[in-house]
Structure 1
Amino acid sequence: MNPLFFASGNLLADRRAGYAQMLFSAGDFRAAAELMGEALSLAPEWAAGHFRHGEILAEAGDLTAATEAWRTALRLDHTDRLGAALKLELHGALPGLEAAPSAFVETLFDQYAGTFDEALVERLAYRVPELIWEALKRLGRERFAHAIDLGCGTGLMGERLRVLASFLEGMDISAEMLKRAEDKRIYDRLARRDLLTLSALPTGADLVTAADVFMYVGALQRIFETVAGNLQPGGVFAFSVESHAGAEEMVLRPSRRYAHAPAHVRALLAGAGFDIASFEIATIRIDRDEPVEGLIVVAVRRDAAAEVGEIVAAVEAPERPPAH
Structure 2
Amino acid sequence: MKLRPLMLLATVAALAILAAVWVSRSRAPDASALSPGPLAPGLAQTLDQVTQVRIVGAGDATLVTLDRNERGWGVAERGGYRADTEKLRALLQAIAAARRVEAKTAVAERHAQLGVEDVSAAEARGARVDVVTPSRTWSWVIGDNLVRGTGTYVRDAAQAQSWLINANIAVEKSPANWLDRALIDIGANRIAAIEVTPAQGPAFSLRRNDDDPASDFAFVSLPKGREPAEGYRREALAGVLSGLTFEDVFAAEQHPVPEKVQVTRFALDDGRELEIRSWPHEGHTLAAITQHLDADAEVPDGDAPAADAAALVADFQHAHAGWVYRLPAYKASNLGKPLEDYLQPVK
After TM superposition, the score normalised by the length of structure 1 is 0.28
Larger Rg: 2
Instruction: Please identify which structure carries the higher strand content.
Output: 2
